[in-house]
Structure 1
Amino acid sequence: MIESIVLKNVATYNTAGICIENIKKINFYYGANGSGKTTLSNFLQNPNNPKFNDCSIQWQNGQKLKTLVYNKDFREQNFGNGKLNGVFTIGQATKAEIEVINKKNEELQKIKEDGIKKRATLKIQNDKKNDLERNFKESIWKKIYKKYEKEFKEAFVGFISSKDKFNDKLLNEFSNNTSSLSDLEELKDRAKIIFNEIPQNIPLLSMPECDRILEIENHVIWNKIIVGKADVDIARLIQKFNINDWVNQGRSYIQDNDDTCPFCQKQTISEDFKRQLEFFFDKSYLQDLESLKKLKQEYEYLVQNIINQLDGIELNQKNLKSSKLDIDKFSAYVKTLVSQSVINVELLNNKSKEPSRKIEIVSLKEQLDLISELIRTTNSEIAKHNAIVLNFNTERKNLINSIWKFIIEEYRMDISSYNTQKIGLEKGIDALKTQVESKLNEYSALDSEIKTLSKDVTSIQPTINEINRLLKSYCFLNFEIVPTSEDGFYQIQREDGTIAEETLSEGEVTFITFLYYLQLAKGGTSQETVNEERILVIDDPISSLDSNVLFIVSTLIKDILKDIKSNIGNIKQIILLTHNVYFHKEVSFIDGRTKECKETNYWILRKNDKTSSIQSFGVKNPIQSSYTLLWQELKSEELSSSLSLQNIMRRIIENYFKLLGKFGDDDLIEKFESKEEQNICRSLISWINDGSHSINDDLFIELPDRTIENYKKVFKDIFIKTDHEGHYNMMFGIEEE
């Protein structure tokens, strides 16, 4: 069945168009001539016509049915040459044969209904699968891509142009990624290197040579008391006063061939004294002093070299963008080292001045070890960096794989749950597809069997007999339907045997072609199409017919409506369009007690300002009588044409006051007391008569909204002044207080 229809950008349907929804089994459309009914029927007859490119039909369960349209085109196409195509119906068959066909048709209907249910279930399962996939795509986009976009966007390149691509990539990685798992911080560090500019080699930091410094620091000489020989006469005096260093320093001031003491400036320096000094400060003493001097110089040199080396490293690494060195920690270590070395140099200077003293050197080992360890750690990071540089493309690929591995492990439960649900739904969908396919095959086989059976018992004679029976039963006695010499056709013949094609009235042609249409609706133009399910679209079937035939046509259609409501036969839906109020009332009448039917819907089509619109009334029939319809049109918010408004007001006043109430124009005018009100009423009646019987030239006459509103007010006042306000309120649906 048809569920909805969209009409736009064709004939009187504008760009916005109309959408007819909630179409039931039985559908009545009322509309005046020119309101858009024929456009609707033409679309349903030939939806593939290019002029209907912007229009559409929504079919129930996506299943299209054959649509038979009765309109003016149908009459011309099927009676243009005076011949009617043969309509095949169940004809010369025994009761048993017909029962077999009917039984198989019932089985076919059950198979179809079962198939529809399975397709509906299949659609539900597909919708669930689609919802699951859509929700998962949205979820991973937010949870993964948006979360890691900043750090790992390069790893997602090629898969972020759509959520579908990102989803497919994630599921593929989940199934195939075998990379080892890395922690997040490591991945971020590697990404900073690889995903930025192409990295360059970084030279390794040179390791300071510390061994010799440490050897010097641990030399025994620093704790050795360096003094002269004890067995010299002056030794006891020097040692008593502990003036070894002072005396040794004084020796340098003693000049050869001079006996003056450099301290007291008296002639006390004898050759014997000089000899005792030389014996006291013997070769061993002098060797210790020389060793002390050399060690001190070497130490200062080595320490200064290391400090210079470390300062160079610090300066270089501060200027290196990709440095791996912890500059702050390194600087702190170097400062401490320098401070300690300054202290040690001072101690060594003291030892040089006073060799007899012991000193405790502050060892640089701990600080040098810290610096060495920091350099080793840095060099390890540099080595990793350089390895990446050496094989950049491979490292980049490995990093991307590691990132995806980290992601799929982080969201393994979510992905696994999704896969489990999807697999379950897909299994159910595959099973349903198999069942639907089986039903289609079963339906096709049984349908072929029914067509074969029907072919053996169908003919066009029952159609001829039925049309002739209807003609006679409705007193069309002067002509009948007869077969032609040409197989599969029949024509209309007078009682005297002459062909009646050119002598039939328009009403007779209309009636005959409609009877033919009804037979076509029940049968088919070929033996294979007799049992096809179909939809009927009937557009104004009572044109040029008198009231008696109007009743006949409505009766025939109502018989079809009863079968549709009861699901009898192959007609599944009907769409009826008419401009005739009486025909609409007659064909839509159910019975004296039943006012509504849930299988029925009603619409009214209108055309205002050259544009068609539609109003739905659901199961409530809006057409009560032509007079009632005039009031409905008058109070409709969609009425915007001044010409239509004039005509409606005139017809209401004529029907209510002149025909029923016997009021003339003057009688209505005299009901107003003041001269001014009488003039307004006279003006209204003149305007109504002028507007409803002629079309004003827009070049000279313009009716503003205010004028229309004033006349609406006077129209109401006519009912008030004539004491018929209650009727006005009733027709407008206004409750009186």
Structure 2
Amino acid sequence: MGRNIETIQFNALKEVASHFRKVLTGDHTPEKEFILFFAHNGTGKTRLSMEFKDFNKPEGDFDTLYFNAFTEDLFVWNNDLENGVTRMLQLNKDSKLFIGLQDLEMETRIGKLFQNYVDINFFIDYENYTVTFSRNVVIDGNTETVENIKISRGEENLFIWCFFIAICEIAIDQVNSDDDTGAYNWVKYIYIDDPISSLDENKAIAVACDLANLIQEIKNEGSKIKTVVSSHHSLFFNVMFNELKNKAKHKAYYLHSKNNETYTLQDTGDVPFFHHIAIISQLKQVVDSGDIYTHHFNTLRSILEKTASFFGYDKIDKCIQGLDDEVLFERALNLFSHGKYSIYDPKEMGADNKDLFKKIFDGFLAKYEFYLPEIFNKQQEAV
């Protein structure tokens, strides 16, 4: 497998946004239909989505339909605190996302998506920009409808997600038809930042598959719309990658930030990027720097547990079996990976324990020979 993998360093998120636009438009590179990238929480994914969205804002050129934490904030609960009876989700009518909803058959479009995840009914009041929910329940053998319920956080996230995807479908239809009067005919890009929150793994897979189908629909219809998707969720990322890797021209990346001062983008190549490989790479950086804290034993133990699970081992000690001082290593892992060593109360290790950590980590890497991304030791300046 070739390892001549592209790695680029940027000094600001706006530069990353510019790079993404160039990749999607074929500026000095083969044109791509979508970008998928993995980044840990705190890297700046949401800020990057806003930089991408606002890239042409000074010229008044809005071209990006986006989903991120700010999109979710456009939906706010009115819990009827006075009476506790009529609970509703209030839409921010000033948002461009909700332009012309009355004419777009949103209940039908959202409903066909939402019913794939949950058994909840909803009604949109277009005049007041509110959504109410109801659920059918069986009481004493009779089916009754409970009105004005407040749905769970996970159900709310799914509803907002389905609402957004329904609007994406409308945008695709309008752009493809060259409808100059359409509410979403301005859309050139769809940018989706971390659609996964408060979801179990089954629903995460379902959301990834539905999104992959949407991107495939964009390609099949010959649409001009390009897509960017980011995630911190390794399962979601891998499902998306595998669903689309042979179906659309794409780029898959890993985005890393060093102290929010520089940003490094690495092409993941022709295989999906695995979360534990990213963590191992970060631990290697920690070991190389010498800034090893006690809580890093928690991280190392987590990696050993995932490796043991992959190989079918019943205990993590099998991962260090055969190494010199394996008994000492096992004791150290059990002692220092205790929950009291929290990332929120970091304590730097003493020299002896740092040396012990390095020996365990280096022995583990030597035994399993993971291929680590070049992102931490081979960086190219962005052009």
TM-score range, shorter chain: 0.5 to 0.7
Q: 1:517 to 1:635 in 2, by over 3 A?
A: same
Q: Deviations over 1:19-75 (max 9, x none)?
A: 745533311121111111122123334x3xxxxxxxx6799xx99552122112211
Match of 1:71 in 2: 68
Q: Which among 94, 106, 113 is matched to residue 470 of structure 1?
A: 113
User: RMSD of aligned C-alpha atoms?
Assistant: 4.4
Return the TM-score normalized by structure 1: 0.37
Matches of 1:638 and 1:598 in 2, distance apart?
Answer: 39
> For 1:433-464, what per-residue CA distance to the aligned partner results, in whole angstroms no more than 9, with x for missing partners?
xxxxxxxxxxxxxxxxxxxxxxxxx923x221
Q: CA deviation at 1:560?
A: 2.0
User: Aligned residue for 1:583?
Assistant: 236
Q: Is the 8 A contact 1:551 1:586 kept in 2?
A: yes
Matched, 1:516 2:163: yes
Q: Distance in 2 between matches of 1:5 and 1:573?
A: 23
Partner of residue 484, structure 1: 125
Which residue is 1:38 aligned to? Answer: 46
Matched residue, 1:655: 306
Q: 1:692 to 1:17 in 2, by over 3 A?
A: farther
Letter of the 2:148 counterpart: I
Cα distance in structure 2, aligned partners of 1:648 and 1:37: 23
Alignment partner of 1:583: what SS? helix
Residues of 2 paired with 1:77 and 1:600: CA distance? Answer: 30
Deviation of 1:679 after TM superposition, in Å, equals 7.3
The CA distance in 2 between the partners of 1:658 and 1:477, in whole Å, is 35
CA–CA separation in structure 1 for the residues paired with 2:66 and 2:303: 35
Post-superposition offset of 1:639: 7.9
Match of residue 548 from structure 1: 202
Q: Sort the Cα spacing of 1:65 and 1:83 in 2 relative to 1 into closer, same or farther, 3 A.
A: same
Deviations 1:668-695, CA, capped at 9 Å, x for gaps: 888567xxx3675257425751599424
- Say whether 1:23 aligns with 2:23: yes
* SS at structure 2 position matched to 1:606: strand
- Equivalent in 310, 324, 342 of residue 694 of structure 1: 342
Structure 1 residues 602 and 549: alpha-carbon distance in aligned structure 2, compared to 1, 3 A threshold: same
Offset of residue 715 of structure 1: 3.0
The number of residue pairs the alignment matches comes to 323
| Aligned positions of 1:560-709 closer than 5 A | 560-566=214-220, 568-569=222-223, 572-590=225-243, 595=245, 599-609=249-259, 611=261, 613-617=263-267, 620-623=270-273, 625-634=274-283, 642-643=292-293, 646-657=297-308, 660-663=312-315, 677=325, 681=329, 684-685=332-333, 689=337, 693-695=341-343, 701=348, 708=354
Q: Which of 133, 141, 163 is 1:493 aligned to?
A: 133
Unmatched segments (≥5 aa) in structure 2:
1-7, 25-32, 79-88, 136-144, 175-179, 374-383
Q: CA deviation at 1:548?
A: 3.0
* In structure 2, distance between residues paired with 1:562 and 1:613: 30
After superposition, where does 1:118-517 map in structure 2 within 5 Å? 459-460=103-104, 462-472=105-115, 474=116, 476-480=118-122, 482-484=123-125, 486=127, 489=129, 491-495=131-135, 496=145, 498-500=147-149, 503-517=150-164
Closer/same/farther in 2, CA of residues 5 and 64 from structure 1, 3 Å limit:
farther
| 2:366 counterpart of 1:714 | no
> Cα gap change, 1:731/1:541 in structure 2, threshold over 3 Å: closer, same or farther?
same
Displacement after TM superposition at 1:609 (Å): 4.4
1:601/1:527 CA distance change after superposition, 3 Å: same
* 2:120/2:134 contact within 8 Å kept: yes
Give 1:584 deviation, angstroms.
0.7
Change in Cα spacing, 1:658 to 1:467, as seen in structure 2 (3 Å) is: closer
Determine if contact 1:604/1:615 at 8 Å carries over to the other structure.
Answer: yes
Distance 1:35 1:639 in 2: 21
Which one has the bigger strand percentage? 2
Measured in 1, the distance between the counterparts of 2:191 and 2:287 equals 26
Which amino acid counterpart does residue 39 of structure 2 have in structure 1?
Answer: G
d(CA) in 1 for partners of 2:344 and 2:199? 33
Larger Rg: 1
In the TM superposition, residue 573 of structure 1 has moved relative to its aligned partner by 1.4
Taking structure 1 as reference, are residues 729 and 497 closer, same or farther at Cα in structure 2, changes over 3 Å only? closer
**Whole-angstrom distance in 2 between the partners of 1:609 and 1:714:** 27
Report what 1:83 is aligned to: 90
Question: Paired residue for 1:729?
Answer: 369
Distance 1:80 1:542 in 2: 20
CA distance in 2, matches of 1:534, 1:493: 33
Distance 1:693 1:532, change over 3 A: same
Aligned-partner Cα distance in 2 for 1:5–1:69: 25
Consecutive unaligned residues of structure 1, counting only runs of 5 or more, are 48-55, 90-457
2:183 counterpart (529, 542, 551): 529
| 1:603 and 1:618 in contact (8 A); partners too | yes
CA-to-aligned-CA distance 1:73-97 (integer Å, 9 cap, x gap): 21121345513465658xxxxxxxx
Whether the aligned pair in 1 keeps the contact of 2:68 and 2:194 (CA below 8 Å) is: yes
Q: Is the 8 A contact 2:133 2:151 kept in 1?
A: no
Q: TM-score, normalised by structure 2?
A: 0.66
The SS at the match of 1:29 is strand
CA distance in 2, matches of 1:639, 1:544: 35
